[in-house]
């Protein structure tokens, strides 16, 4: 450009700079306008991040959601399992994703309300997400390996606590990872009763359950997937963590009925999106999820995992807001902190 007159050269440079600035502004602003005005959402496949392994409890719920939502909105919803670190890896990726409606997160309550408070280095908070719907809620079932229980005369929660007191550290229990609600719940029981038990973390609740079935573990706060094994006599139920007895296990007492005061614990599986996702997208996703009530096949699969609730976004957000300080108080009281 050295042969171009100085005045003309200066005008060309100025014009180029203005054009570049306009393109830069368009690059930042256009996507926002496109998202806000995109009445055709979704116009391409949507991904659904599940921060636990394929075949896990959470994954089962996600597969039902992805199939139903994808069919209803006419675009594939592709499940991506990003397992590791008790859900931290997958949830972190979802938090970093663009809030454009093309990344969904299906996860459990541990990963949202507990992980950011119990791990020292977690790159997200509950506020990094917009709740779409709490799909289901369920209590835990405290179960024991039946052979171990028979050998040690374990017929109730009190028997289990007594054994732990007489044999410090010998009783082993598992969970889907350090800081998982199942882990925290047994830590609560141990601390309150002044006994020592040994926690063995696994990559998923399903893996912990397999370890209990094989005799590798002695006890576990299990999900509803334990029900068929209980019916078959492969697991021995001791108590449930709900405020009243489960209809599926009418003979099994609650933890409170077993003598453990103020011990009601439930967990949930829900769908969320990155904070900043357009409200109309959140509402449309919730509407599609609500339609599961009319899908008998899908609802039957979900009902085998817990109580199907399908909350609206506002109610789900309120639940999370209440749960974060509640678990924070438990974590502080029980002095549980993880690296």
Pairing of strands 141-144, 236-240: antiparallel
| Paired residues of 219 in beta bridges | 144, 173
- Residue 173, pLDDT > 90, answer yes
- Residue 154, pLDDT > 70, answer yes
- Residue 140, pLDDT > 90, answer yes
Take residue 256 and report the two structure tokens written for it.
Answer: 């409170």
Residues 6+ apart with CB under 8 A from 42: 73, 75, 101, 102
Domain layout of the chain by residue ranges: 46-137+268-334, 141-240
| Paired residues of 130 in beta bridges | 273
Segment 39-43 mean pLDDT = 87
What's the rounded Cα separation, in Å, for the pair 338 and 115?
A: 9
Segment 15-39 mean pLDDT = 41
What is the predicted pLDDT for the residue at 61? Answer: 95
What is the predicted pLDDT for the residue at 297? Answer: 92
Q: Which helix (H) or strand (E) holds 201?
A: strand 198-201
Q: pLDDT digit string (tens) for 78-129?
A: 999 999 888 999 999 999 999 999 999 999 999 999 999 998 889 999 999 9
Distances (CA, A) of 111 to 64, 101, 283: 20, 21, 23
Q: pLDDT digit string (tens) for 251-300?
A: 999 999 999 999 999 999 999 999 999 999 999 999 999 999 999 999 99
Cα 240 to the center of its chain, rounded Å: 20
Give CATH for domain 141-240. Answer: 3.40.190.10
What is the predicted pLDDT for the residue at 26? Answer: 36
What is the predicted pLDDT for the residue at 1? Answer: 45
What is the predicted pLDDT for the residue at 120? Answer: 85
Cα pseudo-dihedral 48, 53, 54, 59, rounded to 10: -50
What is the predicted pLDDT for the residue at 24? Answer: 37
Q: Of all residues in the chain, what percent carry a pLDDT higher than 70? A: 88
Q: Which CATH class is domain 46-137+268-334?
A: alpha beta
- Residue 317, pLDDT > 90, answer yes
- Residue 20, pLDDT > 50, answer no
What is the predicted pLDDT for the residue at 261? Answer: 93
Q: How confident is the model at residue 39 (pLDDT cuts 50, 70, 90)?
A: low
Distances (CA, A) of 205 to 56, 67, 168, 270: 7, 23, 25, 17
What's the rounded Cα separation, in Å, for the pair 84 and 289?
A: 27
Q: Which of 201, 57, 194, 211 is nearest to 118 (CA)?
A: 201
Q: pLDDT digit string (tens) for 46-67?
A: 999 999 999 888 999 999 999 9
- Residue 136, pLDDT > 70, answer yes
What is the predicted pLDDT for the residue at 31? Answer: 43
* Domains 46-137+268-334 and 141-240 belong to one CATH topology: yes
- Residue 38, pLDDT > 80, answer no
């Amino acid at each position: 450009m050295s042969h171009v007159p100085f005045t003309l050269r200066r005008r060309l440079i100025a014009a180029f700079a203005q054009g570049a600035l306009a393109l830069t502004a368009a690059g930042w602003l256009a996507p926002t306008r496109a998202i806000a005005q995109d009445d055709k959402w979704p116009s391409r496949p949507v991904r659904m991040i599940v921060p636990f392994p394929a075949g896990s409890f959470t994954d089962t719920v996600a597969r039902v959601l992805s199939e139903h939502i994808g069919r209803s909105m006419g675009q594939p919803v592709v499940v991506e399992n990003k397992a590791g670190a008790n859900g931290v890896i997958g949830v972190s990726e979802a938090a970093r994703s663009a809030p454009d409606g093309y990344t969904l997160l299906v996860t459990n309550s541990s990963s949202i309300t507990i992980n950011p408070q119990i791990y020292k280095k977690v790159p997200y908070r509950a506020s990094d997400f917009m709740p779409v719907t709490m799909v289901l809620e369920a209590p835990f079932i405290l179960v024991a390996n039946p052979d171990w229980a028979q050998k040690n005369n374990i017929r109730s929660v009190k028997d289990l606590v007594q054994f732990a007191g007489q044999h410090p550290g010998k009783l082993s229990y598992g969970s889907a990872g350090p800081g998982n609600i199942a882990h925290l719940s047994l830590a609560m029981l141990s601390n309150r009763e002044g006994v020592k038990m040994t926690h063995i973390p696994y990559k998923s609740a399903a893996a912990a359950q397999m370890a209990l079935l094989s005799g590798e573990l002695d006890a576990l706060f299990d999900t509803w997937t334990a029900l068929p094994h209980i019916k078959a006599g492969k697991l021995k139920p001791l108590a449930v963590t709900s405020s009243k007895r489960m209809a599926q296990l009418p003979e099994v007492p609650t933890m409170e009925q077993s003598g453990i005061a103020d011990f009601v614990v439930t967990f949930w599986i829900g769908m969320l999106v990155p904070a900043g996702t357009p409200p109309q997208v959140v509402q449309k996703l919730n509407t599609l999820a609500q339609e599961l009530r009319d899908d008998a096949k899908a609802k039957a699969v979900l009902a085998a995992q817990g109580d199907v609730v399908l909350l609206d976004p506002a109610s789900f957000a309120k639940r999370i807001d209440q749960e974060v300080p509640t678990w924070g108080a438990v974590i502080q009281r029980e002095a549980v902190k993880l690296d």
